[in-house]
Amino acid sequence: MKSHTLYLSRRNLLALLSKLDRQAAGDETACAIIKYNNPADLYCNTMDQVTVIAVADDKFYADRSPGVMHPADEAKL
């Protein structure tokens, strides 16, 4: 299986979190961003195009418990 690399900036991550918050507030949003491969970027994604979709925790973990995280990261959630 080939491994790909996807780079998300803080801005990208905050946008996805904003979309989840807007969805929870009743707004209509696909909760998605599309990232394109741009060879001029310092951090160039390794696939031509990818759609990143944010999913609320209660839906994503409906059938299983979340995995273990580093305690310092878990404490911030």
What's the whole-number average pLDDT of the chain? 94
Tens of pLDDT, residues 2-11: 899 999 999 9
The pTM of the whole model exceeds 0.75? yes
Residue 43 structure tokens: 């951090």
pLDDT for res 15? 97
Tens of pLDDT, residues 29-56: 999 999 999 999 999 999 999 999 999 9
| 3-state SS class at 64 | coil
Give the Å distances, CA to CA, from 3 to 6, 7, 13, 47, 51. 10, 13, 21, 10, 16
Q: What is the DSSP letter of 9?
A: -
